[in-house]
Amino acid sequence: MTTPLSEFDTALTLTPVDSTSARSGGGPAFTAQLSDRWAIGGAVNGGLLLALLGKAASRAGEHSASGSVHPDPLAISAHYLSASVGGPARIETEIVRSGRTTSVVSVHLEQKQDDKPTGRVRALVTTGDLDALDGPEFITPPCPELPPPDQCYATTDTPQGFKSPGPFTERLDVRLTPGSVAWALGDFSAPGTFNAWIRFPDGREPDPISLLQIVDALPPVTYTWGHFGWAPTVELTAYVRARPAPGWLSMQISTSTYARGFLEEDVQVWDSTGELVAQARQLASAPRFTQKT
């Protein structure tokens, strides 16, 4: 019996395009099918796109004569160009560097809009081999002690008076700690931080690629000020620091600087053994409208 593909892996299906790019250093191109099931606020979630680009980068060596590529994303930086929508997408890769221990791949995702190819996301990815990493732990951030998931609040439990922002909220099982949902009760006195448990609801275990989805899966931390609505990502960089163990992941999101129409969001993700497995930071535009409860 073969295990059916998880919902997440289905969304990450890449189909190689026959003719590889003629550009110098060009890597293979892929097509993908973006699904509205991953849409939030009318656009496909940026974390799903990040995972898709990370996967395309790690596969860029397979269909290319221009160099081999290491298997795991170590660092990925994505600049978001326009909102992605459900429908076909094309992903072009370029192998920028093919080295001994790391490779660098440029990845571009575009969709047809009014029949014109329109860039959605451009990313640079440094790939390496997480299993080959070596060296002691001199400092790592302690995993915050969170109340167990069943004492936390699922993001699908939309508070009264809130409209669900989109089907994406059902793609992940997110449990915000009681302290992280004070805003839903009109308490905006200690803003700036979310703590949560997170996993795929169908049991799909975490791996390096899925961490790229995880780092952009929570509501904007501006909710803690009572500033609701979409906070469009300008740039997002994620570092995968270790291969995650199976089970729940826990994460913390915070901002230090929410000013002049932009905020940065800092993300830390720990696996079920308490190991720091991913760090991410994004620059986002402040939400365009404010809805107070």
Q: How far is the CB of 234 from its own copies (least distance, A)?
A: 5
Instruction: Determine which residue in the list 169, 255, 271, 272 makes contact with its own copies, applying CB under 8 A.
Output: 255
How many CB atoms sit inside 10 A of residue 94's CB?
21
Chain positions 126 to 145 lying near its own copies, rule: CB under 8 A, are 126, 133-141
Residue 256 touching its own copies (CB under 8 A):
yes
Under the binding rule (CB under 8 A), the answer on residue 276 touching its own copies is yes
Nearer to its own copies, 125 or 209 (CB): 125
Here's the x/- map for its own copies, 87-126, by CB under 8 A: it reads as ---------xx----x-x-x-x----------x--xxxxx
Q: Which of 67, 192, 201, 229 binds its own copies (CB under 8 A)?
A: 192
50 in Cβ contact with 211 (< 8 Å): no
Q: Hey, which residues does 173 pair with through a beta bridge?
A: 199
61 near 27, Cβ under 8 Å?
yes
Length of the chain: 293
**Residue 84 lies near its own copies (rule: CB under 8 A):** no
| Residue selected from 14, 83, 234, 245 as contacting its own copies according to rule CB under 8 A | 234
Closer of 169 and 272 to its own copies (Cβ): 272
For 11-63, the DSSP string reads HT--EE-SSPP-STTEEEEEEEEE-GGGEETTEE-HHHHHHHHHHHHHTTTTT
Locate 200 and state its tokens. 């795929």
Dihedral of alpha carbons 23, 27, 32, 36, sign = negative
DSSP conformational letter for 216: T
3 state DSSP class of 167? helix
Shortest Å, Cβ 50 to its own copies: 13
Binding residues vs its own copies (CB under 8 A): 23, 74-75, 77, 79, 81-82, 96-97, 102, 104, 106, 108, 119, 122-126, 133-141, 191-192, 225, 234-235, 237, 239, 241-242, 255-264, 268, 276, 279, 281, 283, 286
